[in-house]
């Protein structure tokens, strides 16, 4: 049985943070859409160089925060002023001052859970990534600076994209291949 | 006004300082009429505006101390504005003199008959007496002036030499200085404002006073950097990224202020002890009730929701708006804490609130501008200057 080779994308290594920044600018100018940069540490200004939009996560989180705030306040109001009114320390039933700590805690809890959950949804459950087919890529957590292009990018072509990556200064250009037996 | 973009120095400081000086003198002269008209109101307005403008100098000192203590990089490009703000502290000392002269008009604990009538108040006489009060005020302001002079002198010496050795020299002053600052500011809050109600006490009051000073200095940065940029001063050196950081700290200390105010309120509300609740009961009569509801809404809820967005913080007009708003609220915060002891029935705003605000503000800004324009507006040999100019928020 002959082996079928599936190409997921291409990967190229660059010399350092500045080379990666320059490469990101050229990738963007060349019109690629499904590509990414990988570096051992965050590089200031990389989001702008790549033309990345800001994540919408903040809006989800603020919506969740206000929901948590309102729910906590409402629930405490309902338990202590509607369902089972109880006089505590001579205060009014709806003593919102006393409710603040729980309201605050629930606001934070909703925000945190939404941040984690929203992140998982926004990265489309991508717990695995084709760059891990490359043996060279392990350097990305040490001293390697990489650009990867995915095969589902409309401009992707195995040989032309590899040549392009070499032309903008990439070394160790390789195709990310999955071998299906 | 003429500014040399190469050396970052003013060749001509322009008319701003003179205008402020004239405005200040006119404002204070008009206010002086107020002593004859209504001395009671005059000293109420005086204390509100004195503490308001004092927090500008205190805030400037706080910023410079923390800047050196943390080894902050981003704030190098706004450091000279902070240093000029703390250089207004000698003016604060000058403005404290009428408060010390009017101490009998301002503080009820100067009435010895009242103090001896109550055993609790009688026990406080060892602390709350006029000579000790004057000594303490002189010590507080003296410590602040001393720290500001030392830090400013080091900063100017840095311009001519030893750029690389700067951090350790600054730390030698700012380390002990921060401790001295924490004590003096807390006790200034206790003495100048909390002792208006001699029976009442709140241990968090000093922190509340400090939080107002921190809000003031970051609001001041936002406004001055905007105004200076329009005149072409530090227009490229204080970037959107720096303003974003200023905005974040302004927001932070607004929340910190709310946290202090809420902590004070929540504990007093919970314990429900008469000697503590008196403070809030006094602010729940007449039109004070309205202002007591206004207080948390205008001071926290509105700015928290409307200033949170990154887009607001990075827009210089929005940021300037919120800086002015929070400064005005800080003034009202002091008013709400001080004036109920002078007008217990209803909130009364007076023309003297305005003339003293303008009068003291004129003198403070005159002093600020004179110091700011005298030397380069950037610490040009600071080892972190280039990193500060290149600074980008992530």
Asked whether the beta carbons of residue B272 and residue A89 sit closer than 8 angstroms, the reply is: yes
Q: Per residue in A81-133, pLDDT tens?
A: 999 998 888 888 988 888 988 999 999 999 999 999 999 998 877 778 888 88
d(CA A62, nearest CA chain B) in Å: 10
Write the ipTM: 0.73
Q: Which of B266, B308, B394 sits opposite A97 (nearest CB)?
A: B266
* pLDDT for res B14: 87
Are the C-beta atoms of residues B233 and B80 closer than 8 Å to each other? no
* pLDDT for res A48: 84
Predicted confidence band at A45 (pLDDT cuts at 50, 70, 90)? confident
* pLDDT for res B92: 96
Q: Per residue in B270-312, pLDDT tens?
A: 888 988 999 999 999 999 999 999 999 999 999 999 998 888 9
Question: Within an 8 Å CB–CB cutoff, is residue A62 touching chain B?
Answer: yes
Residues A148 and A92 in one domain: no
Are the C-beta atoms of residues B334 and B212 closer than 8 Å to each other? yes
C-alpha B135 chain-centroid distance: 21
Domain boundary among A79, A107, A122: A122
Predicted confidence band at B6 (pLDDT cuts at 50, 70, 90)? confident
Answer with the residue of higher pLDDT: B328 or A54. Answer: B328
Residues whose CB is less than 8 angstroms from the CB of residue B207 and which lie 6 or more positions away in sequence, other chains included: B186, B260
The owner of tokens 């000192």 is B61
Which tokens hold the place of B227?
């105004």
Chain B interface test: which of A17, A39, A44, A52 (most B C-beta within 10 Å) = A44
Residues A144 and A105 in one domain: no
Which tokens hold the place of A74?
């409402």
Number of residue pairs across A and B with CB atoms under 8 Å? Answer: 17
Residues A35 and A65 in one domain: no
Find the CATH number of the domain harbouring A41.
3.30.70
Residues whose CB is less than 8 angstroms from the CB of residue B147 and which lie 6 or more positions away in sequence, other chains included: B61, B65, B173, B177, B180, B181
Answer with the residue of higher pLDDT: A134 or B46. Answer: B46
* pLDDT for res B162: 60
Average pLDDT over residues B13-24: 93
* pLDDT for res A110: 97
Q: Which residue of A lies nearest to B271 if distances are taken between CA atoms? A: A89
> Mean pLDDT for chain B?
93
* pLDDT for res A1: 44
Predicted confidence band at B166 (pLDDT cuts at 50, 70, 90)? low
Residues of chain A found within 8 Å of residue B308, distances taken between Cβ atoms: 62
DSSP state of B77: G
Average pLDDT over residues B51-73: 95
Q: How far apart are CA B307 and CA B250, in angstroms?
A: 10
The total number of structural domains in chain A stands at 2
Predicted confidence band at B5 (pLDDT cuts at 50, 70, 90)? confident
Residues whose CB is less than 8 angstroms from the CB of residue A124 and which lie 6 or more positions away in sequence, other chains included: none
Average pLDDT over residues A33-41: 90
Predicted confidence band at B91 (pLDDT cuts at 50, 70, 90)? very high
Residues of chain B found within 8 Å of residue A98, distances taken between Cβ atoms: 270
Structural domain including A167 reads: 4-54+129-180
Q: How far apart are CA B336 and CA B287, in angstroms?
A: 12
Residues A70 and A158 in one domain: no
* pLDDT for res B157: 85
Domain boundary among A122, A137, A161: A122
Q: Which of A42, A62, A89 sits opposite B394 (nearest CB)?
A: A42
Residue A176 pLDDT > 50, yes or no? yes
Domain boundary among A81, A99, A122: A122
Residue B138 pLDDT > 80, yes or no? yes
**Cβ neighbourhood burial of A50 (10 Å; 0-12, 13-18, 19+):** middle
Answer with the residue of higher pLDDT: B39 or A48. Answer: B39
- Bridge partners of residue A9, in order along the sequence: A150, A176
Residues A46 and A79 in one domain: no
Q: How far apart are CA A86 and CA B20, in angstroms?
A: 60
Answer with the residue of higher pLDDT: B267 or A47. Answer: B267
Q: How far apart are CA B65 and CA B336, in angstroms?
A: 29
Asked whether the beta carbons of residue B270 and residue A98 sit closer than 8 angstroms, the reply is: yes
Residues A12 and A64 in one domain: no
The SS3 assignment for B192 reads: helix
d(CA A137, nearest CA chain B) in Å: 25
* pLDDT for res B366: 96
Angle at B326 between CA B323 and CA B327, to 5 degrees: 85
């Amino acid at each position: 049985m002959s082996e079928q080779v599936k190409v997921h994308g291409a990967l190229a290594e660059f010399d350092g943070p500045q080379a990666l920044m320059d490469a990101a600018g050229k990738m963007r100018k060349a019109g690629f859409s499904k590509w990414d940069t990988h570096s051992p540490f965050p590089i200031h200004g990389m989001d702008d160089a790549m033309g990345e939009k800001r994540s919408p996560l903040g809006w989800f989180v603020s919506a969740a925060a206000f929901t948590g705030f309102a729910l906590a306040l409402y629930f405490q109001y309902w338990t202590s002023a509607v369902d089972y009114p109880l006089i505590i320390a001579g205060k009014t039933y709806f003593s919102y001052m006393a409710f603040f700590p729980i309201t605050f805690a629930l606001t934070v809890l909703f925000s945190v859970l939404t941040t984690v959950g929203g992140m998982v949804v926004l990265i489309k459950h991508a717990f695995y990534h084709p760059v891990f087919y490359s043996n060279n890529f392990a350097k990305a957590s040490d001293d390697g600076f990489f650009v990867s292009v995915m095969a589902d990018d409309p401009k992707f072509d195995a040989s032309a994209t590899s040549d392009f990556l070499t032309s903008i200064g990439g070394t160790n250009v390789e195709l990310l291949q999955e071998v299906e037996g | 006004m003429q500014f040399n973009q190469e050396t970052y120095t003013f060749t001509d400081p322009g008319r701003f300082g003179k205008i402020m000086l004239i405005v200040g003198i006119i404002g204070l002269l008009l206010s002086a009429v107020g002593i004859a008209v209504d001395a009671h109101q005059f000293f109420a307005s005086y204390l509100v505006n004195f503490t308001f403008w004092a927090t500008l100098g205190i805030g400037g000192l706080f910023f410079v101390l923390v800047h050196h203590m943390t080894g902050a990089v981003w704030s190098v490009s706004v450091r000279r504005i902070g240093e000029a703000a703390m250089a207004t502290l000698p003016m604060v000392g000058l403005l404290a003199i009428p408060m010390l002269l009017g101490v009998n008009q301002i503080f009820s604990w100067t009435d010895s008959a009242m103090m001896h009538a109550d055993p609790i108040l009688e026990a406080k006489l060892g602390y709350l007496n006029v000579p000790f009060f004057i000594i303490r005020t002189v010590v507080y302001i003296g410590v602040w002036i001393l720290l500001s002079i030392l830090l400013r002198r080091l900063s100017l010496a840095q311009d001519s030499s030893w750029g690389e050795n700067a951090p350790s020299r600054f730390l030698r002053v700012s380390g002990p200085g921060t401790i001295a600052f924490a004590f003096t500011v807390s006790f200034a809050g206790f003495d100048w404002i909390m002792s208006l109600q001699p029976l009442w006490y709140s241990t968090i009051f000093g922190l509340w006073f400090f939080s107002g000073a921190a809000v003031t200095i970051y609001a001041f940065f936002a406004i001055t950097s905007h105004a200076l940029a329009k005149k072409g001063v530090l227009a490229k050196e204080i970037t959107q990224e720096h303003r974003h950081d200023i905005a974040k700290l302004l927001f932070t200390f607004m929340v910190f202020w709310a946290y202090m105010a809420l902590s004070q309120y929540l504990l007093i509300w919970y314990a429900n002890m008469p000697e503590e609740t008196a403070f809030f009961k006094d602010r729940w009569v007449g039109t004070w009730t309205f202002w007591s509801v206004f207080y948390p809404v205008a001071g926290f809820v509105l700015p928290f929701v409307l200033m949170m967005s990154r887009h607001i913080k990075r827009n210089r007009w929005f940021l300037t708006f919120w800086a002015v708003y929070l400064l005005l609220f800080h003034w009202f915060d002091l008013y709400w804490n001080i004036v109920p002891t002078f007008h217990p029935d209803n909130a009364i705003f007076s023309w003297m609130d305005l003339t003293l605000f303008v009068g003291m503000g004129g003198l403070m800004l005159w002093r600020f501008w004179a110091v700011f324009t005298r030397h380069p507006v950037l610490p040009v040999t600071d080892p972190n200057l280039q990193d500060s100019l290149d600074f980008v928020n992530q």
